[in-house]
Amino acid sequence: MRRISTAHAYVLIFLFGWVFAPLKTAMAQVPPPFTLRSLEVDIWPEYDRPSVLVIYHLTLPSDVALPVDLRIRIPSVAGEPHALAVREADGSLITIAYTRNELDDEWSEIVFTATAPEIQLEYYDPTLKKEGSQRTLNYRWSGDYAVETLTIQIQQPLGATEMKITPNTTNFTVGKDGLTYYVTQVDSLAAGQSFEVNVRYQKPNDSLTAESLQVQPSAPVGSATLSTTPAAVNFLPWLLAGLGVLLIGGAVVWWFWQERTVRPLTKTNRPRRRRLVIEPQEAIPAGVVYCHHCGKRAMPGDRFCRACGTKLRQ
């Protein structure tokens, strides 16, 4: 049997690796066998950075077993995602960990484990082109999963005009923030089927939308509010006068109550003190003893006063 040289063995190993490496990569990128119930993509150019903020809202099917591993591709130039979170039952967003893998010059892969059926992924795309006042951006869904409903909402930056979107859409809405949003909706996409949107608009400066947004009132100021304001102002002096009368009346009532409950001591309610009365010295017969405490005359032979009990002084 012919022996294979070392050089030939290395060549065969290289060929096997070159042939099966793409197969291994393709197997690693095979999505799980389920279809996203919905995918909403928010595209906000020049919002809070001079680039494009892209926000994915992914909803898994109700029958998927959680937790589940997912792989979503984003442009390589985007770098690390700005945020990745799952939405809890109470509506709060909880940040989750991820791994970013560089696939090629165009795409990076974000690998993570979803513990809830709603996921939010955000990244910034710096490929917004500026030529004077002309702005151009391209977005492409990579087709990592089949999607039942794909909805793309493009926010018109403040100060932007002549918005042109391809595929053409005439559907737009005005959000609570007062900004205009152009909506493109696709019924379904198969796994591996991409979708692309091109946007062009005019903008004379580099101001950001977030910096220009004004604080909106919680409720519009209507005619009813304006009509009641003068009446309240005119009623204020009367209100203060009534409050003063109440304070004066309260002070008078308090004074009378103090007069009735706190009175000075009179002769009728002062404690009576016993008065010591002693007859003049010359009127006292010899040998007669009087109590030095109460003045009661003692009988001969008494050692204690018969009236108060005090020991007599002999």
Model pTM?
Answer: 0.61
**pLDDT band at 32; cut points 50, 70, 90:** low
pLDDT tens digit sequence for 63-79:
999 999 999 999 999 99
Give CA separation, 257 vs 2, 250, 266, in Å: 127, 11, 19
- Cα-flanking dihedrals φ and ψ of residue 135, to 5°? -120, 140
102 and 184 housed in the same domain: yes
pLDDT tens digit sequence for 100-132:
999 999 999 999 999 999 999 999 999 999 999
Total count of residues recorded for the chain = 314
39 and 152 housed in the same domain: yes
Give CA separation, 68 vs 15, 73, 123, 155, 168, in Å: 35, 17, 22, 32, 36
24 has a pLDDT exceeding 70: no
182 and 285 housed in the same domain: no
Long-range residue pairs from 175-184, CB within 8 A, at least 24 positions apart, any chain = 176/216, 177/213, 177/216, 178/213, 178/216, 179/155, 179/209, 180/155, 180/156, 181/153, 181/154, 181/155, 181/156, 182/153, 182/154, 182/156, 183/151, 183/152, 183/153, 183/154, 184/151, 184/152, 184/153, 184/154
243 has a pLDDT exceeding 70: yes
Q: What is the pLDDT of residue 142?
A: 93
Q: What is the pLDDT averaged over residues 24-45?
A: 75
Among the residue ranges 57-61, 173-177, 246-250, 284-288, the one predicted with the least confidence is 284-288
pLDDT tens digit sequence for 173-230:
999 999 999 999 998 999 999 999 999 999 999 999 999 885 444 444 444 443 444 4
53 has a pLDDT exceeding 60: yes
Number of domains the chain contains = 2
> For residue 61, how many C-alpha atoms fall within 13 Å in the half-sphere facing its CB?
12
Give the domain extent around 54.
28-205
53 and 196 housed in the same domain: yes
Closest listed residue to residue 121, CA positions, set 43, 59, 77, 57: 57
Higher-pLDDT residue of 253 and 89 is 89
Domain holding 109: CATH number?
2.60.40.1730
8 Å CB contact between 44 and 134 = no
47 and 182 housed in the same domain: yes
The whole-chain average pLDDT of the chain stands at 80
DSSP-derived pairing of the beta strands 195-202 and 38-45? unpaired
Query: Given 160, 176, 205, which residue is the final one in a domain?
Result: 205
Q: Which residue has the tokens 């892969």?
A: 109
238 has a pLDDT exceeding 90: no
